[in-house]
Structure 1
Amino acid sequence: MVSNYRGSELAREFEMTFVQTHADGSRAKKLAVAGRALLQAVGLAVRRPPDMIHVHVGDFPSLYRKAAVIVPLLMRRTKSILHFHGANFLAEYAELPPGRRRFVQWFLRQFDVVLCLSESWRRDLSMEFGLSEAVVLPNAVSIPGLRAKGRASPDVPLELLFMGLIGERKGVFDLLDAMETACRRGVEIRLAIGGNGDVERLKARLAASPALAARVRYLGWIEGEERERAFLSAHAYVLPSRAEGMPMSVLEAMSYGLPIVSCPVGGIPELVDDRSAILVQPGDKERLADAICQLATDETSRQARAQAAADRVRTHFDLHGHNARLASVYRALHSR
């Protein structure tokens, strides 16, 4: 979401300084980026204190990185907003030793406002940490001018797309098992996978199954025009996650007019409805196969869900509306 703020109406109304605390790459690169962020934050605290700070955190260790960087500003009692994006935050918090849990409790209570991606996250975080002010602000996307291609006929193989971290949490291996089941039922489907993570396990799984090897393409980590082409070439988007916040990839897929197959975890039930998506329980591979087969064999239903997905994201999750709501939070906090 942060990249969407640059050059937006928010950046025109509020003078913003962006501090990057993390980058992919070697350990040396990560340390260099974190060190530069700390120096930048200390410089701001000493020479040009901001009116407020807006901190984006995922799961651990994201919180620790941000804490190390912004404590100098928190110590000045700078007005502050914490924006949660993590999917496993509460589960990871429960596994922390007592000392670290106390630190997390202290850290969260330093913020004037906590932004949550969904009502379920707002409720759970408020109950766990006794937050004074927690506000729901869903993710949003810029609506593209193009729509995903339709199927020329029901005889054309259904093109599925998955994007995300390759591993257990996002459910990609459940998806591969469901693909095999659908293939045994005689349904013509293809799957494109974009992302990083446990790539070697993915490649081994494909190599062990001739059915999957013939139908699944691994795209690697893709972005920009290549990512756009992947959405435009798909007929449906599948993300059978076991834990989530509010996945941007689902919003992106909906904005291109793709029906969704996913799971009722995190903010996903607030992101989609039964007109735009088919939700199955995490790990239910048989039901996941049923959902894929339904989209492959009922083109009228697939097209209706595609239109409903595009309409829903345009109505509820457009980036301009998100920025307007965030601007209201900024103004209210600044006026205190």
Structure 2
Amino acid sequence: MKIMIVGSEEIVSGGMTSIIRNQLNYLEGKYTTIKIDTHFKGKKIIGFLKFLISYIKIIYFVYFKKFDAVHLHTSYEGSFWRKSLIANSIPKNKVVYHMHGGKFPSFYDSLNFILKKYVDWSLGRAKRVLVLGAYWSQYYVEEIKLNNTYTVNNFLEIPNINPYNSNGKKIVMLANYHKDKGFEDLISAFLKISDFNKSTKLFLAGNKVTQFINIDHPQIILADWIDEEEKQRILSECCLLVLPSYREAQPVCIIEAMAYGIPVIASHIGSIPDMLGEFSEYLISPGDVDRMSYLINKILNDESIRLALSNINYQKAITEYSSEVQMNKIINEVYLGDLK
């Protein structure tokens, strides 16, 4: 079987890039694979020209090299328009959309009637549309009226043993900067309890973090996007991950935390309740700084809670978010599934 993976170039930071990397690692040596980039950092005109070259390559590999599946990682706006052009240029029984990005509903709602019908048609003609968790499955079935969805989870390579360091002194948030991510809310929540937790640091890392966050505090560390090696080092020193977003799909940073057995506080949005448990007391309403502050302080000062949450998260990462579990589903039920 020949599989083509289509997405952003490796230097484009974000959860989608991590998923593509893990997907390629899992498929290596098992199937013939090729990755073709359609989104590039830098000047838009250069990116557009590179996209045209990639588009021609995709057409060539599909029609002349007989690739069996074209796995299109997409989100919203330009990402979706690029992938839909590709999807609609090749046989529909080869097209697998993989929907990322919690902003797709607002993108879809902003479209006029004709463009909505185009989106409906493009997604509807695909062999499968991969959606992240039960929340997004319900959305695409009920709002877009799709009958070709297949529910998967994002996935990572999970360590063989739980590496959680319960004595870690860092609270971490890993995300590209955007006002919807809630960075400022987390800073406000941390400042409420920082005087009572002098040895604890708040580490905020992501694309454009240092550009848009301006704070000088001895317990707050800012960094732009960090590479995989640095990320692993930070996670090994982390006692808690917080993600107070206002919109999300299925955040890869939460899966990264679970893989390291790290307790998580996150917003009750998107697929996050499925990830942490619908009735978890560590889910918060977006913008609820007081509740976030209370929960951070509670976890920091109770090792038994940290260890219990660590074990739950690590076990869930193994059973529901590992590359082996999710890629076996995709290979057997999607790539090798009956053609439409």
- What range describes the TM-score normalised by the shorter chain of this pair? 0.7 to 0.9
In the TM superposition, residue 277 of structure 1 has moved relative to its aligned partner by 7.2
Higher mean C-alpha displacement, 77-86 vs 10-19: 10-19
Separation in structure 2 between the aligned mates of residue 275 and residue 236 of structure 1, nearest angstrom: 19
Separation in structure 1 between the aligned mates of residue 279 and residue 118 of structure 2, nearest angstrom: 43
Separation in structure 1 between the aligned mates of residue 339 and residue 113 of structure 2, nearest angstrom: 37
Aligned partner of 1:44 among 49, 53, 61: 61
1:3 corresponds to which residue?
A: 21
Are residues 1:299 and 2:313 paired?
no
In structure 2, runs of 5+ residues without a counterpart are: 1-18
Tell me which amino acid in the other structure corresponds to 1:65: R
1:121 corresponds to which residue?
A: 136
Aligned partner of 2:312 among 280, 287, 308: 308
Deviations 1:21-49 (A, max 9, x none): 11223324422431221111222244234
In the TM superposition, residue 262 of structure 1 has moved relative to its aligned partner by 0.4
The question of whether the paired residues in 2 share the 8 Å contact of 1:52 and 1:334 is answered with no
1:283 corresponds to which residue?
A: 287
1:107 corresponds to which residue?
A: 122
1:187 corresponds to which residue?
A: 197
1:225 corresponds to which residue?
A: 229
Tell me which amino acid in the other structure corresponds to 1:150: S
Aligned partner of 1:259 among 241, 263, 283: 263
Tell me which amino acid in the other structure corresponds to 1:111: A
Trace 1:143-162 onto structure 2 (pairs within 5 A): 143-145=158-160, 147-151=163-167, 158-162=169-173
The question of whether the paired residues in 2 share the 8 Å contact of 1:149 and 1:232 is answered with yes
Are residues 1:166 and 2:181 paired?
no
In the TM superposition, residue 326 of structure 1 has moved relative to its aligned partner by 0.7
The question of whether the paired residues in 2 share the 8 Å contact of 1:79 and 1:111 is answered with yes
Tell me which amino acid in the other structure corresponds to 1:215: Q
Separation in structure 1 between the aligned mates of residue 232 and residue 166 of structure 2, nearest angstrom: 15
Aligned partner of 1:138 among 134, 142, 153: 153
Separation in structure 2 between the aligned mates of residue 227 and residue 335 of structure 1, nearest angstrom: 40
Tell me which amino acid in the other structure corresponds to 1:329: E
Q: 1:275 to 1:104 in 2, by over 3 A?
A: closer
Q: 1:274 to 1:333 in 2, by over 3 A?
A: closer
Tell me which amino acid in the other structure corresponds to 1:148: Y
Tell me which amino acid in the other structure corresponds to 2:152: L
Separation in structure 2 between the aligned mates of residue 42 and residue 135 of structure 1, nearest angstrom: 25
In structure 1, runs of 5+ residues without a counterpart are: 153-157, 208-212
Q: 1:275 to 1:103 in 2, by over 3 A?
A: closer
RMSD over aligned Cα atoms? 2.2
Give the TM-score of the pair, scaled to structure 2.
Answer: 0.87
Give the TM-score of the pair, scaled to structure 1.
Answer: 0.88
Tell me which amino acid in the other structure corresponds to 2:79: S
Greater percentage in strand: 2
Aligned residues: 320
1:70 corresponds to which residue?
A: 87
The question of whether the paired residues in 2 share the 8 Å contact of 1:194 and 1:220 is answered with yes
Query: Identity over the aligned pairs, expressed in percent?
Result: 22
Tell me which amino acid in the other structure corresponds to 2:146: L
- Partner secondary structure for residue 151 of structure 1: coil
Q: 1:321 to 1:268 in 2, by over 3 A?
A: same
* Structure 1 consecutive aligned stretches of length 4 or more whose deviation exceeds 4 Å: 274-277
In the TM superposition, residue 141 of structure 1 has moved relative to its aligned partner by 1.2
Separation in structure 2 between the aligned mates of residue 276 and residue 236 of structure 1, nearest angstrom: 15
Q: 1:89 to 1:44 in 2, by over 3 A?
A: same
Higher mean C-alpha displacement, 286-295 vs 189-198: 189-198
- Partner secondary structure for residue 193 of structure 1: strand
- Partner secondary structure for residue 87 of structure 1: coil
Deviations 1:139-187 (A, max 9, x none): 11111256132218xxxxx420010011222111110111112236x23
Separation in structure 2 between the aligned mates of residue 237 and residue 324 of structure 1, nearest angstrom: 29
- Partner secondary structure for residue 89 of structure 2: helix
The question of whether the paired residues in 2 share the 8 Å contact of 1:277 and 1:309 is answered with no
